[in-house]
Amino acid sequence: MARKYNFCAGPAALPETVLEQARDELLDWQDAGLSIMEMSHRSPEIVGIYERAEHDLRDLLAVPDNYKVLFLQGGASTQFGAVPLNLTRGDASADYVNTGQWSKKAIAEGKRYLNVNVAASAEDSNFSTIPPRDSWQLSNGAAYLHYTPNETIGGVEFFWTPEADAPLVVDMSSTILSRPINVADYGVIYAGAQKNIGPAGLTLVIVRDDLLGQAHPLCPAMLNWQVAAEAESMYNTPPTFALYLAGLVFQWLKAQGGLAAMETLNRRKASKLYGYIDDSAFYANPVETASRSLMNVPFTLANSELDKAFLAESEAAGLLNLKGHRSVGGMRASIYNAVPEAAVDALIDFMRDFEARNAG
Ligand SMILES: *Cc1c(COP(=O)(O)O)cnc(C)c1O
């Protein structure tokens, strides 16, 4: 068996040792005589797995005590609606910043529940920039300010945290755990799991205590963070196997040296790839240098007629899922935590060889 290098934007690569451990424990978890998937979510085994996962995640992100960690379902897309439903706080408006396709989806869903003020938009630059903070038109009395710290499709990342009076609500689906953050800067952090946390089916919400208990009366119980917090993420049958795998990923991250070590590695991987793209006249990345994502690297070929050959040949070379998102075309290499540096090196070698054979 030869595992290939997976550059998928999501569901994304998982650490090999995590998959091996899950395989070894699949039929009989730690002599319990059954699989994780077959256990009651009320059993001491599963409750223990949840507690350990939360503990390790709190350690990794240094989550302050006045924040709840919730393990939910429905993906980040469900949170696009859950955010306004939980945070209307008697107000009718919220500020949103539009930096790409995921911001747009959050804005569209937010508009169903409250008045959305788009405080800034990078649409004019075709989402290749982040509008500077001093250009944002924030509204008075906004319930929150929503933005997307890493746009997975456009490959645009914030390396700064905006100041605002309203609580910051952030969709960190494709950047969480890639480097240290200061959780206290945010009111709510949410993320679908399938990029940097674990398998699809699990959603993480980290919410400051004072933002709980203000949901709209029509907020479904399944979307209500307060309900989830009181039930310790087990209001209904939770995705136990996905959480177990996420817990193994958290243990793996700690063994790698935590998020500071991941940041060093992720910066090295990204700078190798951007450096090669910038040095080549054959490949290009459109994003302003200061806002280039560490996790998602979109790039185009000088001649888009070669796209098909690039994809077919890269796949044959064991480099999977390099096709760009249908909305932007070209290529995209997602180089999340679990994509090893050797994968980036192999990709660059392939790109150099493809360029040599096709340029000019
Ligand atoms: C993948 C992604 C989403 C969608 O996540 P789902 O879990 O599929 O709903 C939303 N926002 C960002 C930034 C993403 O990367």
Q: Give the residue extent of every domain in the chain.
A: 16-255, 257-358
156 Cα: distance to centroid of ligand 1 (angstroms) = 14
Local confidence pLDDT in tens for the 360 residues of the chain: 689 999 999 999 999 999 999 999 999 999 999 999 999 999 999 999 999 999 999 999 999 999 999 999 999 999 999 999 999 866 679 999 999 999 999 999 999 999 999 999 999 999 999 999 999 999 999 999 999 999 999 999 999 999 999 999 999 999 999 999 999 999 999 999 999 999 999 999 999 999 999 999 999 999 999 999 999 999 999 999 999 999 999 999 999 999 999 999 999 999 999 999 999 999 999 999 999 999 999 999 999 999 999 999 999 999 999 999 988 889 999 999 999 999 999 999 999 999 999 987
Element holding 230 (H helix, E strand): helix 225-230
Residue 244: partners with Cβ closer than 8 Å, 6 or more residues away: 22, 36, 49, 53
Outline where DSSP puts E strands in the chain.
5-6, 67-72, 93-98, 115-121, 145-147, 150-151, 156-157, 168-171, 188-192, 203-208, 283-284, 296-301, 319-320, 331-334
355 Cα: distance to centroid of ligand 1 (angstroms) = 32
203 Cα: distance to centroid of ligand 1 (angstroms) = 10
**Is CATH 3.90.1150.10 the classification given to domain 257-358?**
yes
Counting from 1 in the atom list of ligand 1, the atom nearest the Cα of 200 is 7
- DSSP 8-state assignment for residue 7: -
- Ligand 1, atom 8, residue with closest C-alpha: 75
Q: Which two tokens stand for residue 293?
A: 């994502």
33 Cα: distance to centroid of ligand 1 (angstroms) = 36
For residue 136, indicate whether it is catalytic. Answer: no
353 Cα: distance to centroid of ligand 1 (angstroms) = 33
77 Cα: distance to centroid of ligand 1 (angstroms) = 6
- Ligand 1, atom 5, residue with closest C-alpha: 76
Q: How far apart are CA 67 and CA 189, in angstroms?
A: 10
Residue 151: partners with Cβ closer than 8 Å, 6 or more residues away: 99, 100, 101, 102, 103, 127, 157, 174, 293, 296
Ligand 1 pocket, Cβ-based, cut-off 6 angstroms? 10, 75-77, 102, 148, 152, 171, 173-174, 192, 195
Counting from 1 in the atom list of ligand 1, the atom nearest the Cα of 102 is 11
Question: What topology does CATH give the domain 16-255?
Answer: Aspartate Aminotransferase; domain 2 (3.40.640)
Q: Which two tokens stand for residue 202?
A: 């699990």
Q: Are 213 and 49 in contact (CB under 8 A)?
A: no
Burial tier of 197 (Cβ tally within 10 Å: 0-12, 13-18, 19+)? buried
Q: Are 147 and 168 in contact (CB under 8 A)?
A: yes
Counting from 1 in the atom list of ligand 1, the atom nearest the Cα of 79 is 9
Counting from 1 in the atom list of ligand 1, the atom nearest the Cα of 153 is 15
356 Cα: distance to centroid of ligand 1 (angstroms) = 36
Choice from 157, 174, 194, 335 to test ligand 1 binding pocket (greatest atom count within 8 A of CB):
174
Give phi and psi for 182, each to the nearest 5: -100, 95
Counting from 1 in the atom list of ligand 1, the atom nearest the Cα of 152 is 15
Q: Are 168 and 144 in contact (CB under 8 A)?
A: yes
Catalytic residue, candidates 102, 136, 225, 252: 102
Q: Are 67 and 208 in contact (CB under 8 A)?
A: yes
Catalytic residue, candidates 104, 195, 269, 323: 195
Q: How far apart are CA 94 and CA 114, in angstroms?
A: 7
User: How many other C-beta atoms lie within 10 A of the C-beta of residue 16?
Assistant: 12
Q: How far apart are CA 155 and CA 315, in angstroms?
A: 22
Counting from 1 in the atom list of ligand 1, the atom nearest the Cα of 192 is 7
pLDDT number for residue 88: 86
Catalytic residue, candidates 29, 56, 171, 225: 171
For residue 195, indicate whether it is catalytic. Answer: yes
Choice from 171, 197, 327 to test ligand 1 binding pocket (greatest atom count within 8 A of CB):
171
For residue 225, indicate whether it is catalytic. Answer: no
Vertex 16 angle, CA 12 and 19, to 5°: 85
13 Cα: distance to centroid of ligand 1 (angstroms) = 15
pLDDT number for residue 329: 87
Q: Which two tokens stand for residue 78?
A: 């469900």
- Ligand 1, atom 10, residue with closest C-alpha: 76
pLDDT number for residue 2: 85
